[in-house]
Amino acid sequence: MILDILSWALLLIGSAACVLAGIGLHRFPDVYSRTHASGVSDTLGVLAILTGLLLQAPSFGVGIKLLMVLGFLWISGPTATHALVQAAWIRGIEPVLGAGPDPFHRDEDGDNTEEVQ
């Protein structure tokens, strides 16, 4: 019973992380920001989903296969992300700066309020 609850909780957390990563892929302005969003899905989402599936594995062999898939994704995901970002940088794609309000911006008087122009 507790194993089922923990498994379902991990599946829901992983699914939520993947959905949030998809929203980030849609909303972020450039390739560099989007790779950060996809990194959430690669690490947290996949780890939680596969751990939830591992807790429900019917046999030892299935568990080993899930661990092998997890290891492969943890190696290939960051490698593919690095290759994608490096290719974008070599092609000269510049990051979008100032895409939103800067919460750490300080005016001359020391406050962080921005004037509307």
pTM of the predicted model, to two decimals? 0.73
Two tokens, residue 94: 């510049």
Distance CA 101, CA 93 (A): 22
Whose structure tokens read 């609850």? 5
pLDDT at 115 over 60: no
pLDDT in tens, 54-112: 999 999 999 999 999 999 998 898 899 999 999 999 999 888 876 566 556 666 665 55
Q: Where are the alpha helices (DSSP H) in 1-117?
A: 2-27, 31-40, 46-55, 60-90
Which residue ranges make up each domain of the chain?
A: 2-90
Tokens of 108: 């001359």
pLDDT at 15 over 90: yes
CA distance 78 to 27: 21
Distance, CA of 22 to CA of 33 (rounded, Å)? 12
Identity at 36, one-letter amino acid code: H
